[in-house]
Each structure stands twice: as C-alpha cells, then as structure tokens.
Amino acid sequence: MSSTAVLGCAWGDEAKAKIVDVLAKDADFIIRFQGGNNAGHTIKFNDEKFVFHLVPAGILYPGKICVLGSGVVIDPFALITEIEGLKNKGINFENRFFIDPRAHIVLPLHKELDGNSEANNNHTKIGTTKMGIGPCYADSIARTGIRFGDLYEEELLQERLTNNYYYHEYSQNGVQAMAENLMEAGKILQPYLKQIPYMWKENKDKNLLFEGAQGTLLDVNYGTYPFVTSSHTIAGGIAIGSGFTGKIDKVIGVYKSYYTRVGEGPFPTELLDETGEQIRIQGNEYGSTTGRPRRCGWFDAVAANYTAMLNGVDEIALTLLDVLSGIETLNICIGYRYKGQKIHEFPYSTKILAEIVPEYIQLPGWNEDISSITDFSKLPENARNYAATVEDLLGIKITIVSVGAERRQTIFR
Ligand code: IMO
Ligand code: MG
C-alpha cells in the first residue's frame, strides 16, 4: 500500500487536479476529504475540457475508485448535475464512486445564508463562492446539520430539517417540500453510499491518492483567517475527512509559479499593474466556479515555507511555469518587513499581513514558449534557474513541473 496527498499550498487554484490526473494512473483510490463545490478543478484531456466541483478528478481514469469522505460537504442537486454531465461525456460511475453517509448536506438555505452574510455590511465580506459552504460546516459543528445518510430516513430527515430551520429562524413551511426534494436526490445518489473508513480496512494493499481542494492559506485554522474557507485543507485534514489513519507516504505540495487569490483578504505580493494583468491573461486566471478574475502576484517564499511546514511537504509540483514566459524580470518574495523590522514567521494576524512589505529578489525571465517541453534539461536556462531558486528557498525538491493543462505537458524529474 502507498498513500500520496496532493495539496494546494497557496490560496487555491494551484492546478491540483492536473497533478492528480497525471498521478491517478498509479492509484487505486482517489479521495476527496474536505471542501465542497466551492472547488473548481479544470482538466484538459484529449482536447476536451472537464470541470470538476465535487467529483474527484481521478474519475477520468477508467476503473479507478473515487471517494468523497465524511469531511466533504455535498450539495446533492449540484452533485447529480455534475455526475450527469460526466456520464454524458462517457464516464462510468458504476461501482467506482462512493460517498460517506456522514458527509454533510449543503442545503439551499445554506446558499441563501452565504449570500446574505456576504451582502450584509455588518459582516466581514469574505468574497466566498456563495455555494453555502461556510454555513453548512457551521451547521455541522453546531450539530444542526443534515447528513447524506439522513436522506434515507424520512422521519429523521423531517426532524433534522425542522430543527435546522428552527435554528436559523427560517419558515417551517418549506420543510415538507425540501424533505421530498432531498429524498428524491437521495434515491439517485443511493448507489454511492458507503461507509468509507471500512474501505481502508478492507483495502490495505491498495494505493491511495488524496486530492486536496482549496489551499493551505485558505485553511480554516491556519489560513489567513477570517478570509478562509471553512474546512481543514492541510494534510491534517486527511485523517479527519476520510477516516484514513495511516501514514501519508508522500505529500506533494502544489505551488503555482506565481500566486493568485480570489475573494477578499491580504495578498502581500499582489500585482496591481500591467504585469499582474499580463499574468491574468496568459494564465487565464478567471475562477472556474464563479468566473471572477483572480488577483495575481509574485511567488511568495515566506508563505510557501509556512505552507510546506504545515503540510510536511515532501516534494513540490511547480505548476503553470509556462504562464511566466515573456515577462522580462521575475520577482520572488524572500522576506517580510513589518514596521521596518524583518519578520521571520508568516504572521497569524491578517491585519499584520496586510501591512507587511515584501522583500524581493529579481530573476531574469525567458521568452520561449515552454509549453511543449517534456524534459527539464530542455527548459531555457532562466526557467531552470527560476525553479532551482524555488527549490533552494524551500529546501524541497521539485519533482513535477507543469507547463500546460494537458497530461502530456508535464515534466517529471
Ligand atoms: P479550488 O479547489 C480558490 C475562496 C473564496 C473565498 C474563500 C471562502 O478550485 O482551489 P467559500 O466559498 O469556500 O466559503 O469561500 O475561499 N475559495 C477558493 N479560492 N480556489 C478554490 O478552490 C476556492 N474555494 C474557495 O474565493 O475567498
Ligand atoms: Mg478553483
């Protein structure tokens, strides 16, 4: 048995799914353990584009088993639409897609609450995806949530919904209709229900690949709180959200060659100039869930060291290196100054993070299109140097470089 985790090490959108997709061929199980359909994972395969929100990207490999652990939050209506879309593209789900009955259900009410708090001036605007993720996790902790397994017990479901609506001071009038809709969705999703922790017990000799959603800087505990998502995105979230308690043999930290962020919150290396715009255009940096333009900035080695530490990153996948082609001088942030003083730790306070001044080193860029290079030694010297600098700053080896969205646009080292 082996276990590998692919985790986003910035603010999400690090092209995790592309890395999962290339590694999935050696895995038996691909598992999501947190997040919901706030994730947007795009994969290009045979010139066709697949966008995933809830289904693990590994589903593209025939025969691989894909799992949503108890830590994932599930909008059953969105999931059914996603599955139907993938089935229409010829993907088979039979006996290879499973959901833990403990996974919480994202209700339409959660989306409403998410939208309301984002629109309320008395509430800090987070810039959420408005998918109801935060309110759903909040209900799970408040013990007022509905779980996937509840969709199969009519009386219990009605009771849980009544309780939930009461908690939110929401009209009870809709309980009956919502219970019926949920049970209908439950019927469609019933073949996928499985107690996931037993799968690990029964499959001790298999290879597991854990697919992270969002990124470490969005982790609810260790991210840039309160500008975070509501789940545990770091390696520590794997045991909680999947019931797998073995050791993770290899943690692959996915780092973008530059940084991006969607939504509100501090972003020390953000570029508000033409270079930021150039990166946005070259990298097509628009959200795959919300279509919002992503904020773009330089690689931040202070943040990167922090996220490597929190995940115990063993190896780096450096993604979207092709996007930097044509930028004359590249910057990498190597330190922070706060009120003139050098600080050595990534600040826990977003207020401080918003005020720090990044210190940069400058590296010469390259003009060549590198998107069809498959051998590291064939990259332009300055691109190799850029990657080597990231390795030196983090003290971790880059084993994968991604130079495009297709499987073939991957350099293994
Ligand atoms: P993937 O998996 C980038 C961000 C939102 C917002 C904050 C909270 O594609 O990398 P939420 O809706 O989760 O309550 O929003 O988190 N966010 C993401 N940013 N990629 C994602 O997922 C994200 N999922 C949530 O923009 O700032
Ligand atoms: Mg995304």
Q: Are residues 21 and 133 in the same domain?
A: no
User: For 341-392, how does the pLDDT look when each residue is reduced to its tens digit (9 = 90+)?
Assistant: 999 899 999 999 999 999 999 999 999 999 999 999 999 999 999 999 999 9
> What's the whole-number mean pLDDT along residues 386-412?
97
Q: Are residues 371 and 307 in the same domain?
A: yes
> What's the whole-number mean pLDDT along residues 27-50?
92
Across-strand partners of 316? 253, 398
Q: Are residues 150 and 18 in the same domain?
A: no
Q: Are residues 296 and 401 in the same domain?
A: yes
User: For 292-349, how does the pLDDT look when each residue is reduced to its tens digit (9 = 90+)?
Assistant: 999 999 999 999 999 999 999 999 999 999 999 999 999 999 999 999 999 989 999 9
Q: What CATH number is attached to the domain comprising 38?
A: 3.40.440.10
Given a cut of 90, whether residue 206 has pLDDT beyond it is yes
Shortest-distance ligand to the CA of residue 10: 1
**β-pairing verdict for 259-261 and 295-297:** antiparallel
Given a cut of 90, whether residue 261 has pLDDT beyond it is yes
**pLDDT, mean over the chain:** 97
Q: Are residues 211 and 99 in the same domain?
A: yes
Q: Which residues are catalytic?
A: 13, 41
pLDDT band at 232 (very low <50, low <70, confident <90, very high): very high
Shortest-distance ligand to the CA of residue 230: 1
State the pLDDT at residue 48. Answer: 87
User: For 64-106, how does the pLDDT look when each residue is reduced to its tens digit (9 = 90+)?
Assistant: 999 999 999 999 999 999 999 999 999 999 999 999 999 999 9
Q: Are residues 175 and 299 in the same domain?
A: no
Q: Are residues 163 and 260 in the same domain?
A: no
398 CA from centroid of ligand 2 (Å): 22
Q: Say how far apart CA 253 and CA 125 lie, in whole Å.
A: 29
Does the Cβ of 40 fall within 6 Å of ligand 1? yes
The minimum-distance atom of ligand 1 relative to the CA of 265 is: 27
Q: Are residues 332 and 382 in the same domain?
A: yes
Q: Are residues 271 and 318 in the same domain?
A: yes
The minimum-distance atom of ligand 1 relative to the CA of 262 is: 26
Q: Are residues 134 and 208 in the same domain?
A: no
Q: Are residues 141 and 264 in the same domain?
A: no
Q: Are residues 293 and 349 in the same domain?
A: yes
Does the Cβ of 164 fall within 6 Å of ligand 1? no
pLDDT band at 150 (very low <50, low <70, confident <90, very high): very high
How distant, in Å, are the alpha carbons of 17, 128, 219, 229, 250 from that of 222? Answer: 22, 18, 5, 11, 21
Q: Among residues 145, 170, 189, which one ends one of the domains?
A: 189
Q: Number of folded domains in the chain?
A: 3
Range of the domain at 383: 254-412
pLDDT band at 288 (very low <50, low <70, confident <90, very high): confident
Q: Among residues 165, 189, 213, which one ends one of the domains?
A: 189
Q: What CATH number is attached to the domain comprising 284?
A: 3.90.170.10
Q: Among residues 171, 189, 207, which one ends one of the domains?
A: 189
Are 294 and 261 contacting, i.e. CB atoms less than 8 angstroms apart?
Answer: yes
pLDDT band at 1 (very low <50, low <70, confident <90, very high): confident
Shortest-distance ligand to the CA of residue 127: 1
Ligand 1 pocket mutation pick from 9, 37, 38, 234 by most atoms within 8 angstroms of CB: 38
State the pLDDT at residue 230. Answer: 98
Q: Say how far apart CA 158 and CA 182 lie, in whole Å.
A: 10
Q: Whose CA is nearest to atom 3 of ligand 1?
A: 12
Q: What CATH number is attached to the domain comprising 150?
A: 1.10.300.10
